[in-house]
Structure formats: structure tokens, C-alpha cells
Amino acid sequence: MQTAIHAEHLTKWFGQGEAKTFAVRDVTFDAHFHEMLYIVGPSGSGKTTLLSIISGILRPNEGAVSIEDIDVWSQSENRIADMRLQKIGFVFQDYHLFPNLTTLENVAIPLVLKRGEWKASLEVAAKFLDVVGLSNRAKLSPGRLSGGEQQRVAIARALASGPDVMIFDEPTASLDGDTGKKIVEFVRSEVLTDRRCIVIVTHDDRIYPYADRILYMEDGRLLEDRGGVAHA
């Protein structure tokens, strides 16, 4: 399989001197296209920090990350922002949808940021909203949607930029069991493509069966790389 993300000896610490705390220690791994990779572990194990580093949000103190062979952290800040926009789709834990925009406008945001003309962006966004089954909610504010629906809007927004890598932060944390499973099933069956890699940080062991591979973290270290998990 072709490598989508290559992380090498990633180390990140916060504070200095006695207050120095390691969040990620010497983590090396690869993620591939058409792979659903989970990063799991207890709270404070460094999952979210690792996710932030590989997605070009948090600069590591040591080590390097490449996405499709491009070294992320050797780029300028603007280039990294462009890279996030062009190559990475984010689905945040709290979705971070704009309550003052309609559902459709929320989905159109990455398209507008990518030099999209407003009307054309809305037209394309409508297609993605249709894909996640929410075309009938296009004019509503996200505040009027259920948690599962908001999650789907967030997925549509992440998909809209046509990313090669999709990052999900605790995608089922705010959902009931059934809805959570359905969301992950949908991601597995429809969002994961030959040209896309999905990285999910989660606590939720009910969705482990959908993973291709699970990285287990503790105290900032990658303890285990459980490959070949059977998925549903």
C-alpha cells in the first residue's frame, strides 16, 4: 500500500526545566491510503497531540512528518495552512460548526477558503450534504440538528475540500452507541477510498472492529501497533 503519512521519531514536550512534560516520545509510524488507522489509549496518553502534529497544527520538538512525501514541518506557516486546506479534512470532536451559518454554508467553508466563488461553492457543498443524507437540512442552523446530524455535517465539510487524509477526533464521543456505529460504518464504506487515508483518535472500543490498524499509546509512547484488525 502507498504511504499517505510517514511519521518519524516524533517527540513533543511542553514546558522547560522541571516543568518539562513529554506529550509524545519518539513515535514512528506509517499510515497508508485506503487505510483506517485508529490511535487509541487512555486520557493524557498523547493521542491528540500526535494527531495535531501529523495534521500540521502543532510543531514537534523533534522528528518529522511527511504527507505524500512532502515534509510538513519544513514548510512555511502559510504553506502548512495551504496543505491543511488542500490535503487534510478535519472532523473535530465538538464539530465546531458555525451556529450563525446554515448547514449548507458550513459545508461550503473549505470550498470558499480554496478560492471558491460563493455560489459555486454552495452548489458543490449541496452535493456533499446530499451525500451524507442531509440535503433536507441545508437551510437549517446546525443548532437545530441532532448530534448525529451535526457529525454528518462536519464530515461533509471535511469531505468538501477533497482531502487525501481525514482526521477524526473522537468521532463518537458525543453520540449514542448506534449512531456512533452508523457514522463509522458510513466513513468506512463511503469516505475511505483508494486515494484517502483516515486517522481516528478514539476511546470508544465499540468501533475498534472497523479499524484496519490500531496504534496504542500510553505516556506519549507508541506501545503497540496492532495491524490487521478484522473489521465488520
Partner 1 sequence: MFGAVQMVRAAQTRVLGFRAASRGTPNALVERVLGILRIAYKLLVNDRGKFIAVLMGMTFSVFLMIQVTSMFSGMMKKASSTVTNTGSRMWVMDRSVTNVQSAIPLPDYVLDAVRSIEGVKYAVPLYSGGALVRLKSGVYQPVTVIGLDDTSLLGRPELIEGTIEDIYAENGFVVVKDPEFSKLENPKLGTEFELNDNRGVIVGIANVPASGLFGMPTLYTTYSRAIQYIPSMRYTMSFVLVEPKSPAAIPHIQEEVEKLGYDVTTEQGFIDRITNWYMFRTGMGMNLLLMTAIAFIVGLSISGQTFYTFVLENLEKFGALKAIGAKGRELVAMIFFQAGLTGIAGYGLGVGLCAALIALARLRMPDYASIITAGNLLLALGMVLVISLLSGYVAVRKVLRIDPYDIFRG
Contacting residues toward partner 1, per CB under 8 A: 48-49, 51-52, 55, 57-58, 77-78, 81-86, 88, 90, 92-94, 96, 98, 100-101, 105, 109-118, 120-121, 124, 127-128, 130-133, 152, 159-162, 169, 182, 185-186, 189-191, 193
168 has which bridge partners? 91, 200
Whichever of 167 and 222 has its CB closer to partner 1, that residue is 167
Burial 48-64 (b: 16+ CB within 10 A, else e): bbbbbbbbbbbebeebe
Least distance CB 25 / partner 1 (angstroms): 18
Q: Say how far apart CA 10 and CA 107 lie, in whole Å.
A: 33
Q: Smaller CB distance to partner 1: residue 96 or 226?
A: 96
Residue type, position 129, single letter: L
Output 189 or 228, the one with its CB closest to partner 1: 189
As measured in angstroms, the least distance from the Cβ of 92 to partner 1 is 6
Cβ at position 216, least distance to partner 1 in Å: 19
Q: How far is the CB of 186 from partner 1 (least distance, A)?
A: 6
Whole-angstrom distance, CA of residue 44 vs CA of residue 11: 15
Nearer residue to partner 1 within complex by CB, 55 or 172: 55
Q: Of 75 and 229, which CB lies nearer to partner 1 in the complex structure?
A: 75
C-alpha cell at 209: 472492529
Q: Report the distance separating Cα 96 and Cα 153, nearest Å.
A: 10
Q: Please, which residues bridge with residue 64 across strands? A: 8
CB 47 to partner 1: min, Å: 10
CA torsion sign for 128, 132, 138, 144 is negative
